[in-house]
Amino acid sequence: MKKRRRPTVAELLAQKGQRQLSMLRVETFDEASAAQQAGIDLLSVPPALLGPQLREAASECFLIPGLEYGDLVTPEDYLRAAFQALRCGADAVYCAASMTIVRRLRDEGIPVCGHCGLIPSQATWTGGFKAVGRTASSALFVWRQVQALEAAGAFAAEIEVVPERVARLICERTRMLMIAMGSGVGGDAQYLFATDVLGSNRAHVPRHAKVYRNFAGEHDRLQAERIAAFGEFGRCGERRLPGESASGRYFRAGARRVQAGIG
C-alpha cells in the first residue's frame, strides 16, 4: 500500500464535501496499526496510549485523544492536558467541556473537536441515552450546539445519534468537519468503535454499531485451547515426561558422585 502523509487540520477541512472520511476508536497498538494499514483516516485514542510507539504504529493517521470530562475541571487543567497530548503525538484534542474552555484552547492554537447531539457525559439534559434531533425544536437545539462550537473555534465536532437528514443539513451549513456516530451517512466522517467493528465488545452494543468480525467468539475458542493445553501440561505429573528415564539416570549418577564427595 502506498504510504500516506498524515493530514493537517487545514487539509482535512479542505476535503469537506469531497469524500467521506473514516474514524475509529482504538485502544491498543495492534488496533492502531491495523487501522493505519486499512487506510482509516482518523483515530480516537485514550491519552494514556499516546507516545512514540503509537505514533510509529499509526504515523499516517490523524490522532484525536479525549480530554476526559470530569477528570479535568479548570481551563488551566484542560490547557495543560492538551499541550501534553500534543507533545506526545496528538494532532488535535476532543473536548466536551464548555465553550469558554473550547475557546481558550483554540486561542492557544490547539485544534479542538467538540461534541453535539447526544453527549454521553451530559445525556441527562437531552432525555438520556437516546436520539437527539427528532423534533423541530430538538433539531434546532443541535444546530445551536454546532453554531456555538464553531463560534468558539472548534475545527470539528462529533455529531452523535442525530437523524441522518438533520445531520446532513447541519453538515452542509457549517465549516466544521462533522464526525457522525449513529447519525447515518450525514457527516463528513463515519465513526465507530474498534471493539464493535471487531465484535469483541461483550457489553452493550449500540444499535448504530456495525459488527464485521467475531473476535469474542475467537477469544473464547483460544481460551478453550489455553485451558486444554494447560490441562495437558498439568497432567504430566501423572506420567513420565518425555526423556525422563535418561535424565533420571544422569540425575541419579550425579547425586551419587555428590554424596561420595561429601563422604
- What is the pLDDT tens value at each position of the chain, 263 positions in all? 567 899 999 999 999 999 999 999 999 999 999 999 999 999 999 999 999 999 999 999 999 999 988 899 999 999 999 999 999 999 999 999 999 999 999 999 999 999 999 999 999 999 999 999 999 999 999 999 999 999 999 999 999 999 999 999 999 999 999 999 999 998 999 999 999 999 998 888 777 888 999 999 999 999 999 999 999 998 886 665 555 555 555 566 666 666 666 65
Does 160 qualify as catalytic in the annotation? Answer: yes
For residues 78 and 102, what is the distance between their CA atoms, to the nearest angstrom?
A: 9
**Marked catalytic residue, from 56, 60, 68, 160:** 160
Cα torsion for 52, 58, 59, 64, to the nearest 10°? Answer: -80
DSSP collapsed to 3 states, 126-163? HCCCCCCCCCHHHHHHHHHHHHHHHHHCCCEEEEECCC
State how far the Cα of 53 lies from the Cα of 2, in Å rounded to an integer. 21
pTM of this prediction?
0.85
Q: Residue 209 has what pLDDT?
A: 84
